[in-house]
């Protein structure tokens, strides 16, 4: 099963693609899509769409796992993240791929055992789980991979800690 994990954002969207075949987990791809601050939102969302589309085409995920929006105090950030999530979900619908959502807290808890883990801790633990030889950068890419790993922890009862 190929799983695409997404940490959405309009400035930076992290993604990670893993392949799971019980009991093996392998990283196939990861990275981040960055857009320029100050560009019109329509252009930023178009870039996100244009760069995510080949990832869907190349890897043909069976499932997309996306960070669920957690609204706290910054409405502007919440709205832009919501727009990025919309692009991800549109592509999933176009490729007929189901979408599962988890909060960042759930992903951190699944991967590190602590829901308030720092980004660097998540980055390190994801690398260990996937037996990566080099550090996963940027950290938004590690967050995308953590989303995919969270699905395996939640739905397949795989324990990492």
Catalytic residue set: 7, 67, 140
Written as six digits, the tokens of 46 are 């178009």
Of 59, 45, 43, 54, the residue nearest 13 (C-alpha) = 45
CA distance 12 to 8: 7
Tokens representing 100 are: 């599962």
Contact of 94 with 85, CB cutoff 8 Å: no
Q: Are the C-beta atoms of residues 116 and 105 closer than 8 Å to each other?
A: yes
Q: How many helices (H) and strands (E) does the chain have?
A: 5, 5
Q: Give the list of residues 6+ apart from residue 117 with CB closer than 8 angstroms, or none.
A: 108, 111, 125
Q: How far is Cα 159 from Cα 111, in angstroms, rounded to an integer?
A: 8
């Amino acid at each position: 099963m190929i799983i695409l994990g997404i940490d959405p954002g309009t400035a930076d969207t992290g993604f990670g693609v893993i392949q799971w075949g019980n009991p093996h987990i392998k990283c196939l791809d990861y990275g981040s899509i960055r857009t320029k601050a100050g560009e019109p939102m329509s252009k930023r969302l178009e870039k996100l769409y244009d760069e995510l589309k080949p990832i869907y085409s190349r890897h043909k995920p069976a499932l997309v796992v996306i960070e669920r929006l957690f609204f706290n105090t910054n409405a502007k950030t919440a709205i832009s993240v919501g727009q990025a999530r919309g692009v991800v979900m549109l592509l999933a619908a176009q490729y007929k791929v189901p979408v599962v959502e988890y909060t960042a807290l759930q992903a951190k808890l699944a991967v590190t055992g602590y829901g308030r883990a720092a980004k660097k801790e998540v980055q390190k633990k994801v690398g260990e789980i996937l037996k990566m030889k080099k550090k996963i950068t940027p950290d938004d890419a590690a967050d995308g991979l953590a989303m995919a790993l969270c699905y395996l922890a939640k739905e397949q009862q795989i324990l990492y800690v």
